[in-house]
Amino acid sequence: MAHEPIDKSQKLNIAILTVSDTRTEENDTSGKYLVEALKEDGHTLADKAIVIDDKYLLRAKVSAWIADPEIHVIITTGGTGFAGRDSTPEALAPLLDKHIDGFGEMFRSISFEEIGSSTIQSRALAGLANKTLVACLPGSTGACRTGWTKLLKEQLTASHMPCNFVGYLTK
């Protein structure tokens, strides 16, 4: 189980990365949703970027954020499907020190209730790297809403019991 955080009101610094060859700041609805959701819950937006679906550019951006001790969480949106350039899992899985297998399993289970068998095409994943939580969500705004409201929101809340990730990210 997670370490008991000392401060139950601890808020986190979260970076948002949209993975897309076509999205811009103007039409990035998934990234905008995640920014609004994390701020609504009292967290701080540490950084936000849009990177094309290239595994080396993704690794470079996420590696820099993982190395930054001020960033506790990285949430990516996009690049988790089976389209030709979708490469988020291949790019980021090697950076993880520990994989959180239950994240992808639970995401697909919850998503099944919303979109049926199409959820098997989601390669959502998460893990820990250098005391940073990295969570990779599909690119649709609905998938980001599901990931945030059903999984991440509680796990990024220090008072959520019986366990959460905050204690692993802030020590």
- Supply the pLDDT for residue 10: 87
- Whole-angstrom distance, CA of residue 153 vs CA of residue 61: 24
| 74 close to 134: Cβ distance less than 8 angstroms | yes
Which residues of 20-142 form beta strands (DSSP E)? 44-51, 73-77, 98-99, 125-129, 132-137
- Supply the pLDDT for residue 171: 65
Nearest-CA neighbor of 168 among 128, 134, 141? 128
0.75 cut: is pTM over it? yes
- Supply the pLDDT for residue 5: 39
How does pLDDT run along the chain (171 residues), one tens digit per residue? Answer: 444 434 777 899 999 999 999 999 999 999 999 999 999 999 999 999 999 999 999 999 999 999 999 999 999 999 888 888 889 999 999 999 999 999 999 999 999 999 999 989 999 999 999 999 999 999 999 999 999 999 999 999 999 999 999 999 986
Write the CB contacts of 3 (distance below 8 Å, at least 6 apart in sequence): 167, 168, 171
- Supply the pLDDT for residue 110: 96
Q: Which domains does the chain have, with CATH numbers?
A: 13-169 (3.40.980.10)
- Supply the pLDDT for residue 1: 45
- Supply the pLDDT for residue 81: 85
- Supply the pLDDT for residue 82: 86
